[in-house]
Amino acid sequence: QVQVVESGGGLVQAGGSLRLACAASGATFSKYGMGWFRQAPGKEREFVAASNWNGNSIHYADSVKGRFTISRDNAKNTLYLQMSSLKPEDTAVYYCAAQRLNLAIAIATIESYDYWGQGTQVTVSS
């Protein structure tokens, strides 16, 4: 029903920065809650950051708070994740997800999201 596509992953040294983008299809993007999740090899997928439908409610995982910034440009149907002060433990496949509900609060639970992108690899070297 909707399509989300991540881009911007790559290899970066520890302490460096990287910006991920998520392009979402559909004219109703501005009414979707959006989130970023990541999955490292051998680990479960985990929450990274989320934004409610209008961007006035933001939630970050404790592990990335102060280093990552989530933002959205509804006019361009695009979600961003600016990652700074990257650490080797940030290495993972990063996924963008969309939630159909236009809730007032950003949602961090994986099971609450309806649509997922294919993921983009982020590798942080020591």
State which H helix or E strand residue 111 sits in. none
3-state helix, strand, coil in the chain (%, to 5): 10, 45, 45
φ/ψ of residue 101, rounded to 5: -75, 135
Average pLDDT over residues 70-83: 93
Average pLDDT over residues 82-95: 98
Residue 1 — pLDDT band, cuts 50, 70, 90? confident
Residue 27 — pLDDT band, cuts 50, 70, 90? low
φ/ψ of residue 75, rounded to 5: -65, -30
pLDDT in tens, 32-66: 899 999 999 999 999 999 999 888 999 999 999 99
Measure the CA–CA gap between 51 and 36, rounded to whole angstroms. Answer: 9
State which H helix or E strand residue 51 sits in. strand 46-51
